[in-house]
Amino acid sequence: MEILRRVGLWSIVDTGMIWLAAALAFYGATSGNIIVTAIVLTVTYHVFAVTFQLQGRTWSHTSVQDLLAIVKVVSLAIAVSMIAIAVMTGLTSLEIGFFIFTFIAQLMLIGGTRLAVRLRRDRTQQKAQQQSVRTLIIGAGEAGTQLLQHLQKNTKSDVLPIGFIDDNKKKHKTRLLNVPVFGGMNKLETIVAKAQIEQIIIAMPSMPHATLQAITKQAMATKVEVKTLPELADILSGKLSVSQVQEVDVENLLGRDPVQLDMAAIATNLTGETILVTGAGGSIGSEICRQIMTFNPARILLLGHGEHSIYQIHRELGQLDSDVELLPLIVDIQDIKRLRDVMQTYQPDVIYHAAAHKHVPLMEANPLEAVKNNVYGTRNVAQIAHEIGVKNMVMVSSDKAVNPPNVMGATKRIAEMIIQSFDEKSNTKFVAVRFGNVLGSSGSVVPLFKEQIKKGQPITITDKRMTRYFMTIPEAAKLVLQAGSLAKGGEVFVLDMGEPVKIIDLAKNLIRLSGLTENEIPIIETGIRPGEKLYEELLTTDELVAEQIFPKIFVGKVTPMKEDVLLGYLQTILQLSDQEAAQKTIKLANASCNQGDEQIV
């Protein structure tokens, strides 16, 4: 339909130009019939226009080849018209000057209309380019090429590619789709200033994370906006495309390659099974559920105390094209009767226990609540898992369980001890997974810092010396799934999380990622809160092990606390005051760390 409209429009325009050229030519003619001549010129022109497919062309991109086609059509039309007029009126009445003038006039008028369309398009594009964001692309490889092709085809894009940066010297001073490759990363700052770059897009999705981190930091140092392409896994899976440029987030600055999973082992553990996830509406629990879905279990039991979060994850997973049965279950793990009813009814094969109170200062203020949820809740889940013969139970623990000075870490350590104790006497394989802070999880520093930046408030940190291990939510969930497949019983699995990150550096990066400076968003030190440590550990000294049992995964086998000691604690702790309960809990947790009975496997 569009091609017919274009052909019809240009046919009308060209007919008008032919008649105008003929009329102008007749001013200098001494004889002849203008009507007959114009009709002959029109007919012959359109015959050759159809032959050379002149009218169906897109004239907003008029090229030299298009103009040559016009010259051919007009020339042939004039020549044939001269012959036709000579046959009809005789050679004596044929005026060569008339046809020469008509030829020149037709070329100017017909060619001029096409050039006018092209000039209008160029002027519009030039105005758009003046308003477009001058962009430098880092990476002149396949991903960078695909990105450039998309930007050039997308007329509505406000991104103007100015050039490429690539460390491959063979590409320097060449042109990729008519866009220059300026040089390597060593010239980045100079090129950004000289070319007046307003935005950098890093187009290197397959690059190792450590290299990407260095490139991202160097790009951010130029003070212009930095964006990146989706991860290679998301591009290959079809989840995202190369054209979906993303904001650089703090995860891009971790500089750690993602954990590679043994998919076959995890599938053996999950496919066709009934899986129970406690805390399924939380940050870690919900991501565990998302990743479990890819292994096609028969059923996932989405168990949690908060109805809104369980509703959200149930609704999200329910929208996926999957045959997995999803059961939302509102259950408090402290309520052992309700928990037993649910677990006996649905008979889970594997349990991922992610339900916990994890906010350190809040648990310092409410120690008995931490004990009831993190200790008693874990014991309840483990007890019923043992009773009904669950194959595996994986508990989500924390690096704060190591030498804990606070209630939250102490309750997590005691929960690990409970898991170890059940593993000694049960056919169920009980294991724990320890990792550091999770970026973006509820209650973590990143959402807090982002909120403070959004409100234009200073970022508050407790101590400039403080460091933490960080991982992304998907990484944490993957480690939990892999631990379940590796479980022999009694292990505490730990991810090699790389180097700890200074909280102050994290805050500075978030300020820069927001396009602001520390003058606009200052960083204020408030002092260490009750129960906080300057640094976290993933394993005690006795638990350290040099060899990985799986790429980036370590294991420290901790000898469980004697059962009578645990029972004595559980029977008396709720009878104490908050302060007494906090002291006893921290003392027991640290006694287990320091008694020297930990062995490494």
Joined tokens for residue 157: 């894009």
Element (H, E) at 437: strand 437-439
Q: Name residue 557's beta-bridge partners.
A: 491
Residue from 171, 358, 400, 478 carrying the catalytic annotation: 400
Q: Which amino acid is at 92?
A: T
**Taking a C-beta distance cutoff of 8 angstroms, is the pair 140, 164 a contact?**
yes
Q: What residues contact 130, with CB distance under 8 A and at least 6 apart?
A: none
Closest of 391, 532, 392 to residue 468, by C-alpha = 532
CA gap 310, 358 in Å, rounded = 18
The sign of the CA dihedral 401, 403, 408, 414 is positive
**Taking a C-beta distance cutoff of 8 angstroms, is the pair 138, 219 a contact?**
yes
Q: Which amino acid is at 106?
A: Q
C-alpha separations of 184 from 143, 173, 196, 223, 320 in Å = 17, 10, 17, 18, 43
Cα–Cα–Cα angle for 496, 420, 579, nearest 5°? Answer: 90
Q: What residues contact 575, with CB distance under 8 A and at least 6 apart?
A: none
> Residue 454: exposed, middle, or buried by beta-carbon count in 10 A (0-12, 13-18, 19+)?
exposed
Q: Is 400 tagged catalytic?
A: yes
Closest of 501, 586, 506 to residue 535, by C-alpha = 501
CA gap 289, 297 in Å, rounded = 11
Q: Which amino acid is at 538?
A: L
Tally of CB atoms within 10 A around 272: 12
State the catalytic residues: 400
